Amino acid sequence: MFHFRERSQILVSDPFSLLATGTQQQYIPEFRRFAVDEVGLIVTSLTGAITTQPTVSFGKVGSNAALLAAILATQLTAVDKRQRYPTLLTDEILATLTMEITVAATGPSVYQARMYFRGILI
């Protein structure tokens, strides 16, 4: 039996700070997998002027750059701004998803975002 869905699924994280380096993990429901087509960030809070935007990578546990090698964000300039990227890894279905801030943003006192992964939840 086939199950038809009109749209891809989107997994979105809770807000987190872009002002510190570290790895965020997006959990996938147990016994499910995710085929990723697009990754990105959406700014949720920003107080103050941005001096430097963060450098980020997306991947899976064990390889934080499997989906997208480290890249400087350039469009995260205001609340509700989004930066999206196509993925490097398009042929693997994953059990874990990660986003790493390799170089933290500087300038504002509050700078938060949500990461998202768009694709097919299996």
Three-class secondary structure of residue 5 per DSSP: coil
Predicted confidence (pLDDT) at residue 35 exceeds the cutoff of 70: yes
Residue 99 counted as domain residue: yes
Provide the CATH number for the domain around residue 43.
2.60.120
Residue 4 counted as domain residue: no
- Check: CB of residue 16 under 8 Å from CB of residue 25: no
Residue 2 counted as domain residue: no
Residue 36 counted as domain residue: yes
pTM of the model: 0.90
pLDDT digits (tens, 9 = 90+) for 11-28: 999 999 999 999 999 989
- Check: CB of residue 20 under 8 Å from CB of residue 105: no
Give the pLDDT of residue 116.
96
- Check: CB of residue 70 under 8 Å from CB of residue 102: yes
Q: What does the mean pLDDT of the chain come to?
A: 92
Give the pLDDT of residue 6.
55
Range of the domain at 95: 9-121
pLDDT digits (tens, 9 = 90+) for 103-112: 999 999 999 9
d(CA 120, CA 9): 6
Give the pLDDT of residue 82.
97
Mean pLDDT of all residues in 88-99: 88
Confidence of residue 8 (pLDDT cuts 50, 70, 90): confident
Residue 110 counted as domain residue: yes
How many independent structural domains does the chain possess?
1
